[in-house]
């Protein structure tokens, strides 16, 4: 499925049905009086969050959305049928903005949340409503009101327990595939991951949601590489897993490079809980791994651990460790 995290759409709720100006017409009753019913309410447009969605791609090709009009009232005081509401599904993490794409209207943070983005019009009043002691045969009735219509923006910011960040080729997609049910594209070249991938890891009867954020490079916050397009997805992750290829010659520079990009985008990202994971330990001798870890973790406030995605024991340990960061 293709990924789309921002889209502009037009929504138009249904108009209310008109009231009826009907009069009773029965045999032997010359002046039957008014019996016009009210019009039905127009259908509203409602956004609903769904857990099994992770893209807004459906709205790229269907950008205009209209709900049903209410039916007109009729004789015998029959109220018109209300128009059906139109439900539009969005992923958890979707934010709704006004047409300026700056004013936030609503933020979907949980499954099955609903937000009425456009209210249906009210039904008009039938002439029965205007009957009085001085006006027993009113011809007056009202038309239904118009449904609300807006141009809105939908922006998706991925919500996950753990956000996996690091330079391209650090092994983020391989790690996600190893510990979750996700099936990301994996290859040995930069920017294999072009979109955030989500996966769910199960451990000890509990679940952890992880997001593989496309690789960051120097200048990402200024639009270099994949730019800030995906940095916004890091904002919604509760904890950051900083994945580093342990075979890099200068681990400290590699680590600081990503930290600088996160901080340049938002200082709040540097305040998130962090776990540093040195990956690809299978490429080195155990003694080398131990020496590198001891040297690297000096002056680090975050926990530093190592793993190999090819080692099942290592994967089980990382699952347990991640669970402690989100529980």
CATH number of the domain to which 201 belongs: 3.40.50.300
Residues 141 and 255 in one domain: no
The number of domains in the chain is 2
Residues 174 and 74 in one domain: no
- What is the share, in percent, of the chain residues with pLDDT greater than 70? 88
For residues 80 and 74, the answer to whether their CB atoms sit within 8 Å is yes
Residues 247 and 213 in one domain: yes
Residues 221 and 136 in one domain: no
Strand partners, 241: 164, 275
CATH number of the domain to which 47 belongs: 2.70.210.12
Residues 10 and 73 in one domain: yes
pLDDT higher than threshold 50 for residue 23: yes
When pLDDT is averaged across residues 148-175 and rounded to a whole number, the result is: 88
* Domain termination residue (choose one: 125, 156, 187): 156
When pLDDT is averaged across residues 69-81 and rounded to a whole number, the result is: 97
Claim: this prediction has a pTM higher than 0.85: no
* Domain termination residue (choose one: 131, 156, 181): 156
Encode pLDDT of 228-247 as tens digits.
Answer: 566 778 888 889 999 999 99
**CA-only gyration radius of the chain, Å:** 29
For residues 111 and 52, the answer to whether their CB atoms sit within 8 Å is no
Tell me the pLDDT band of 182, cut-offs 50, 70 and 90.
Answer: low
Residues 86 and 199 in one domain: no
* Domain termination residue (choose one: 104, 121, 156): 156
Q: Find where tokens 């070249």 sit.
A: 189
Residues 173 and 67 in one domain: no
Phi, psi of 245 (to 5 degrees): -75, 115
Parent domain of 85: 1-156
Q: Which pLDDT score is estimated for 216?
A: 67
Residues 242 and 264 in one domain: yes
């Amino acid at each position: 499925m293709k990924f789309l995290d921002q889209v502009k759409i037009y929504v138009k709720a249904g108009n209310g049905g008109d009231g009826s100006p009907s009069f009773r017409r029965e045999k032997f009753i010359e002046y039957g009086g008014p019996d016009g019913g009210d019009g039905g309410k127009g259908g509203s447009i409602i956004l609903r969050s769904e857990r099994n969605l992770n893209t807004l791609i459906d709205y790229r090709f269907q950008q205009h959305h209209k709900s049903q009009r209410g039916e007109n009232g009729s004789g015998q005081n029959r109220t018109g049928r209300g128009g059906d509401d139109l439900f539009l599904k969005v992923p958890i993490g979707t934010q709704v903005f006004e047409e300026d794409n700056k004013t936030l209207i609503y933020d979907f943070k949980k499954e099955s949340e609903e937000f009425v983005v456009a209210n249906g019009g009210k039904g008009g009043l039938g002439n029965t409503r205007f009957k009085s002691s001085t006006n027993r045969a009113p011809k007056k009735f009202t038309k239904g009101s118009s449904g609300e219509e807006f141009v809105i923006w939908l922006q998706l910011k991925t919500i996950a327990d753990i956000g996996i960040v690091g330079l391209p080729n650090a092994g983020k997609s391989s790690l996600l595939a190893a510990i979750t049910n996700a099936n990301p594209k994996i290859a040995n070249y930069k920017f294999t991951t072009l979109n955030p991938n989500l996966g769910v890891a199960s451990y000890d009867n509990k679940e952890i949601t992880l997001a593989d954020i496309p690789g960051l490079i120097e200048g990402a916050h200024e639009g270099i590489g994949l730019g800030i397009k995906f940095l916004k997805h890091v904002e919604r992750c509760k904890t950051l897993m900083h994945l580093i290829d342990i075979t890099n010659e200068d681990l400290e520079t590699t680590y600081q490079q990503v930290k600088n990009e996160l901080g340049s985008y938002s200082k709040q990202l540097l305040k998130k809980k962090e776990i540093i994971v040195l990956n690809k330990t299978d490429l080195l001798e155990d003694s080398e791994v131990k020496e590198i870890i001891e040297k690297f973790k000096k002056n680090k406030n975050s926990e530093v651990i190592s793993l190999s995605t090819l080692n099942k024991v290592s994967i089980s340990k990382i699952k347990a460790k991640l669970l402690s960061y989100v529980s």
